[in-house]
Structure 1
């Protein structure tokens, strides 16, 4: 199942990794381990953030994606199910629309 993982990263301990020069290594390890389909880094509410597209075979995989962010950065993680246009076409909206008039 395709999921959107939204990560809000607090300034500390991220700043400490930047100062000691290990941030690249830490980020590379997380991304190498989790292998997101896509990863974007952005500002979120005035702080650091990341938006990753991940694929889960089952819900028990959620900790493997969240724990690196929790443990290394004290980050907040939100998971959302997302669809590509082909998924939406398979949703049967026409049938649902007539069922719930």
Structure 2
């Protein structure tokens, strides 16, 4: 299943995690494990944010992916199943 994940990182924790390199480590762990087909980084509500699109068939893997962002970055996370245009058109 293709998933759309958005991660929102609080400013204070984000600042500290840049200095101690834990943000880079958390992002790299997630990217190595989930192998997202797309990754975008931006600001949302004045906070660091990221969007990832990736495939995952095992729901329990989401716990692994989320925990690095929760425990290391105090992040808020939203995960939504998503379709690309071709997949949507097949069902319309």
- State the shift of 1:82 in Å: 1.0
Larger radius of gyration: 1
Q: Number of matched residues? A: 91
Provide TM-score, normalisation by structure 1.
0.78
**Structure 2 unaligned blocks of 5 or more:** none
Distance in 2 between residues matched to 1:47 and 1:28, nearest whole Å: 20
- State the shift of 1:75 in Å: 0.2
1:56 aligns with 2:56: yes
Q: 1:12 to 1:34 in 2, by over 3 A?
A: farther
Aligned-residue RMSD, C-alpha: 1.6
**Structure 1 unaligned blocks of 5 or more:** 94-101
Pairing 1:1-101 to 2, within 5 Å after superposition: 1-20=1-20, 22=21, 23-91=23-91, 93=92
Distance in 1 between residues matched to 2:24 and 2:64, nearest whole Å: 20
